[in-house]
Amino acid sequence: MSDLNPAGGDTSRDRVYPVLPLRDIVVFPGMIVPLFVGREKSVKALEEVMRDDKHILVVTQKNAQDDDPAPDQIYDTGTVATVLQLLKLPDGTVKVLVEGLSRATIDRYLQTVEYFEAEATVLPEPEHDATELEALARSAQSEFENYVKLNKKINAEVVAAVAQIENHSKLADTIASHLVIKINEKEDLLATVSVADRFTKILGLMEGEIGVLQVEKRIRSRVKRQMEKTQREYYLNEQMKAIQRELGDGEEGSNELTELRRAHQENQIVQGSTDQGRS
């Protein structure tokens, strides 16, 4: 857990970063992300970065509605990033393009008055058995392809881009960044330094999401069939009413009405048989 230490103490300036708290997004290493920054502290942190050509630590806050989060309301694990582009907009906000470089955990905050500044440790990734990682990577790629087919919120072109990634850590982070999951779940993936453990968690999350998406798809199909059945019945009923109004009870009208009623009954029998076959 990070703490606040305004006095500084024995601090290597190489490990000190301006901190940019983020709402509703987790930036992973390797991601290039546009951000719109409007809070005064955050703007000052960016100005500090641009003045001294520093890296910035982007960290997600726990409550997106909090305009001035305290240090304990900001997650401890974030991403050291470089600012690729910065543009000040007429309304005073800043549009910034950042690229995530590496995971880091906040050890302590050095100041929080003008802007957040913290001492942080970059987290090295432990080595793993290459064969195990390759197996996990292939499983994750395959499951991600299934996930994208069911989740219409993700562009299908992402699958082709993911298939080109050879670095296992980057592959895991890229898949994680595209999952439609809760912020605390993405933060947990960011805090998972081990690539093998990250893949395992990603596979578990995708498996759960795919199960939910398949149920949703079945529900949508049932609703669609029911709506189609209701529309057909409504159309036939309206036809019968129209014939009764226009032709009365004459012989010609009775014949048409009889045929229509027969068609209506046959439609209900066929529909019932179809529904039983699908249950």
Q: Model confidence over 107-146: pLDDT tens digits? A: 999 988 899 999 999 999 998 899 999 999 999 999 999 9
Q: What are the boundaries of each domain within the chain?
A: 3-122, 130-215, 221-278
Residue with tokens 């305009």: 67
DSSP notation for 28-92: PTT-EEEEEE-SHHHHHHHHHHHHHT--EEEEEBS-TT-SS--GGGB-SEEEEEEEEEEEE-TTS
Tell me whether domains 3-122 and 130-215 share a fold. Answer: no
User: Does domain 3-122 sit in CATH 2.30.130.40?
Assistant: yes
pTM over 0.85: no
In terms of CATH architecture, what is 130-215? Up-down Bundle (1.20)
Q: What is the pLDDT of residues 43-75, one digit of tens each?
A: 999 988 988 878 999 999 999 999 999 999 999
Q: What is the pLDDT of residues 191-224, one digit of tens each?
A: 999 999 999 999 999 998 887 777 777 777 777 7
